[in-house]
Amino acid sequence: MIEVLHEERKSAVLTPSSLACLAHMPTINLTAGCAHQCRYCYTRGYSTHPGEGKIRFYTNTLTKLRAELARKRKKPVAVYFSPSSDPFQPVPDVLEMAYDIFTFLLDAGIGVAFATKGMIPERHRALLASHAALVRGQIGLITHNARIATAFEPNAASPEVRLAQTAELLAAGIAIESRMDPLLPGLTDDEDSLDGLCRALASAGVRRVAASVLFLRPAVIWSLRRHVTDPTMLQPLLDAFVVKEKMRIHAGKSVVFSLPEKNRRAILGRLGAVAKRHGITVQFCACKNPDIASGTCNIAGRWDESAGGSRQLSLYEGR
């Protein structure tokens, strides 16, 4: 059971992100913390994280957003949801706020970009479909194995639901991509697992995927040890990190524990080869792989140059 803490937001609603991929686009978090409670989520290490089993819901977000946009001479081309939470969490207040804010922005001609692992309600899907040209999305799916998904993403939508949503939104003309983030070393990075997931994504109509390999923070290690109780899942994952290295991400502002460079190159290269067989292009982001990548994972989609758009690099470019 998730504890929802209601409070008013004191800071601005539209905020910049430390992610280079979002450097030119304002972002909105509807909450601090996320009800999906993904066991690997790197935001557990943030100072703003409200604690295990809790989210902080900002009740005045739409009111403040209206006021902020009214003061702007030039409205943004698009807004991204959300750099450290999810707009489609299984919490009625969050879903209601997401619908109201999406409606406000889309009616004003402002685009909406999102990344989610949640179940998108029917009326939200209808809203997005009715403004398809103004919507970009990435739907996260790290595995098509329901058992692994439940262990690591306990409150997220099932893989089947996410695949069905992906197919539906693509059919509605929305620019939807998939996000394999994070790949779990020892669990979801072998060729058979990657082939099964890519096959399912291709069947849903996906042609582009963003991917990255799991990295660890102390809070993430604590979460994994506490919540992933099946040793057949936990041990292979931890064994993969017996040899690890410190890496600076987010323009060097944050330090994490990552797999050695050669290991990550091998995993991402394997994914790239498998995906290519299914007609899927793989991208990964220099924000999380500054030692081996350049370019962007396209997390907020492609917009025109006024939105800070830039050329996107595939797995095999930018070396």
In the structure encoding, which two tokens stand for residue 314, read together?
A: 């595939």
Please state which of the ranges 89-103, 155-169, 178-192, 251-265 shows the lowest mean pLDDT: 251-265
Nearest to 80, CA basis, from 307, 300, 274, 311: 300
Q: What is the mean pLDDT of residues 65-75?
A: 95
Q: What percent of the chain has pLDDT over 70?
A: 94
Please state which of the ranges 2-6, 26-30, 292-296, 302-306 shows the lowest mean pLDDT: 302-306
| 173 pLDDT more than 60 | yes
Q: What is the mean pLDDT of residues 8-35?
A: 91
Strand partners, 257: 216, 246
Cβ 307 vs Cβ 77: under 8 Å: yes
Please state which of the ranges 72-76, 140-144, 173-177, 295-299 shows the lowest mean pLDDT: 295-299
| 10 pLDDT more than 60 | yes
Question: Looking at domain 3-307, which of 2.60.40.650, 3.30.420.40, 3.80.30.30, 1.10.287.620 is its CATH number?
Answer: 3.80.30.30
Q: What is the mean pLDDT of residues 306-318?
A: 33
Domain boundaries, the chain: 3-307
> With bands split at pLDDT 50, 70 and 90, how would you rate the model's confidence at 207?
very high
At residue 126, the pLDDT reads 98
Cβ 284 vs Cβ 314: under 8 Å: no
At residue 317, the pLDDT reads 29
Q: What is the mean pLDDT of residues 40-62?
A: 92
| 312 pLDDT more than 60 | no
At residue 168, the pLDDT reads 98
> With bands split at pLDDT 50, 70 and 90, how would you rate the model's confidence at 302?
confident
| 48 pLDDT more than 80 | yes
Q: What is the mean pLDDT of residues 256-271?
A: 95
| pLDDT top residue among 298 and 209 | 209
At residue 251, the pLDDT reads 59
Please state the pTM of the whole predicted model.
0.92
